[in-house]
Amino acid sequence: MKFPLKPFAIGATAVLALGLASCSGDGGSGDDGGSGEIDADHSVGAMEDFGVGDTFVATEPVEFGLMYRDHPNYPLKQDWSILQHLKDDHNVSFDIQSVPLADFGQKRSLLISSGEAADMIPSTYTADVANLTSGGALLKVSDYLEYLPNFQDKVEKWGLQADLDRTRDADGDFYVLPGLLEIAKPDYTIAIRADLWEEAGLEDPATWDEFTEQLKVIQEKFPELSYPYTERTWSAAGVALPATLQAASGNFGTEAGWGYGDGVTWNGSEFEFSGAQDGYRDMITYFHGLIEDGLLDPEGLTQDEDTAKAKFTTGKVAAISTNSQETTGYRQGLAESGLDDAVVRNIVVPAGPAGNIMDATTGGRFESGIAISAKAADKPYFKAMLQYIDWLYFSDEGLEFARWGVEGETFEGQGADRKLLPGIDWNGVNPDAGDNPKLLNTDFGYYNGVWSLAHGSTAEELGMMVSEETANFRTEMNAEKEIADGGPAVPLDALQREEVAITQTNLEDLVMTATSQFLRGDRPLSEWDAYVEELRAAGMDEYVATINEAAGTAS
């Protein structure tokens, strides 16, 4: 068939022309000038006086748009108690824009970019929408903090102002109200077979070096183990040991794994490139050493989760990376394999050469938060909506309501003595739940990330409705460890962000690839200097300079 070129040319020209025409149209919608004053026309349903300690009740029924992240484990039900109570007690109902949890991020970006997003966009981290703010579709919520007394109160009380400032862009604005935590919520660590440790006369390791020694002892004492310690990859190929490297990185004075972030670490006076730090090399050397000594299963760098789990639950290894939820799974697996005597314990992450430190990401006290559509500012109920957001997500009363429900209906007691009523359960926390209990999230709608951002917030809440083990782990981690200083804000403007984006990706690829190679031994650590040169060639120095310049710490 002859390929018809002419129609193509005509079509392409037409499309181009159309495209240009639409570009020249109104590009900036939702610009409110950032005054931050809300007039009476936009205060329908809002309370006259709303401050810390006040319960939000709209003065007349209001309906807010809500982008709802639909979790398949507790699919939305219109007759949920939480919806009933919000409607009956607070005059609030929702026009729900449902988005399945799978691919939530993709559709959220699409809806925001096309200006079709609902008024409120919960379950959203600052980083999720960092690239969408320039379109003007999101509200500069930083202009409206005066309407968010509870938020401001918690930020001040919990010393989060510096962290909040770090989320500001070059213009000094931020677009997401993060979920706030009073204390850090570390979760990832290493699970050990405590029964074997005890049999070998060992206690939990205080440092990574001690951990090495202990693994040697375990290996000698239990020759039936194929390796003392294995790892799981947790994520798509390319990032080796993401969870463990993150957990360990603070103790080596660097940032790595899932905590790698933008690839720079604050050293107290300026930002350094994490992947080229001595601490990073020491950490890689340490874990490579474990592999070389036959203590860490080399397959741990590549095997999928199921394989790793199977090794641990069938008793072939004595230690494995974990989080609180995985540990529950390991216990079940061990029981199913008939290893009834096996005891699993999560150790406090050992200290390292840099000290006993949580990296800034692990120690971070921001959770997924809520963004607001710019067009919500034009809605008559705008002020009421801000008050509702402030009350539900940031007041003690709202936090308790979203998580626990209503006293007498779902729980009883006060403060730290609260417990779920008999017949109601969440994740097996209620011993009185009985058989076939109703579930707090599935049947009532509480404990739902859409209405409960940080699942706890206050230290008291964080210690409840989790297993004792998890609560203890958090307490010990917070008590024993310092949290690494994340450094000052790096407010890149849009142009700078674009400039560094490609360099940043290239550098990250280089670091991740080299990390895996060094760990596996595919590349000897003697080539470290050559690797750093590769980073330089890929623009490391310029990248770090840009970051330091933006942070105002350029030397």
Partner 1 sequence: MVTTTESLTAGPDLSGIRASPRGIKPTPSYRVFTAINIVVLCLVGAVTLYPFLNLLARSFSSESAIRGGEVFVWPVGFNTTTLLSVIDQKLFWINYGNTVVYTVVATVIAMVLTTTFAYVLSKSHLKGRGLLIGLALFTMFFSGGLIPNYMLIVELGFKNTIWAIVLPQAINVFNLLIMKSFFENFPTELEEAAAIDGLTTYGIFLRVVLPLSRAVIATMVLFYAVAFWNSWFPAFLYMDKPELYPVTVFLRNIIAGATGTGEGLSDAAVQIGANVKAVTTVLTVLPIVCLYPFIQKYFVSGVMLGSVKG
Residues in touch with partner 1 (CB under 8 A): 1, 4, 6-8, 10-12, 15, 70-76, 96-103, 107, 110, 113-114, 116, 306-307, 309-310, 313-314, 325, 329, 332-333, 336-337, 426-428, 439-442, 447, 449
Residue number, 99 or 283, with CB nearest to partner 1: 99
Residue number, 274 or 448, with CB nearest to partner 1: 448
464 close to 454: Cβ distance less than 8 angstroms: no
Residue number, 465 or 551, with CB nearest to partner 1: 465
Q: What's the min distance (Å) between Cβ of 505 and partner 1?
A: 21
Q: What's the min distance (Å) between Cβ of 336 and partner 1?
A: 4
Residue number, 193 or 281, with CB nearest to partner 1: 193
Residue number, 97 or 267, with CB nearest to partner 1: 97
Distance CA 3, CA 310 (A): 57
Distance CA 541, CA 264 (A): 11
Q: What's the min distance (Å) between Cβ of 6 and partner 1?
A: 7
The 8-class DSSP code of residue 464 comes to S
Q: What's the min distance (Å) between Cβ of 118 and partner 1?
A: 9
Task: Work out the angle at residue 319's Cα, subtended by the Cα atoms of residues 314 and 322, and round it to the nearest 5 degrees.
Answer: 95
Residues in the chain: 555
Residue number, 70 or 499, with CB nearest to partner 1: 70
Task: Work out the angle at residue 18's Cα, subtended by the Cα atoms of residues 14 and 23, and round it to the nearest 5 degrees.
Answer: 150
Distance CA 63, CA 51 (A): 22
The answer for residues whose C-beta is within 8 angstroms of residue 498's C-beta and 6 or more apart is: none
433 close to 417: Cβ distance less than 8 angstroms: no
Q: What's the min distance (Å) between Cβ of 460 and partner 1?
A: 21
Residue number, 7 or 201, with CB nearest to partner 1: 7
Pull the structure tokens for residue 467.
Answer: 């297993």
Q: What's the min distance (Å) between Cβ of 74 and partner 1?
A: 6
The count of other CB atoms within 10 Å of the CB of residue 18 is 10
Q: What's the min distance (Å) between Cβ of 415 and partner 1?
A: 24
Residue number, 439 or 538, with CB nearest to partner 1: 439
In DSSP terms, 95 is beta-bridged to 65
Pull the structure tokens for residue 66.
Answer: 């809500």
Distance CA 209, CA 31 (A): 56
Task: Work out the angle at residue 548's Cα, subtended by the Cα atoms of residues 546 and 551, and round it to the nearest 5 degrees.
Answer: 110
Task: Work out the angle at residue 262's Cα, subtended by the Cα atoms of residues 123 and 482, and round it to the nearest 5 degrees.
Answer: 80
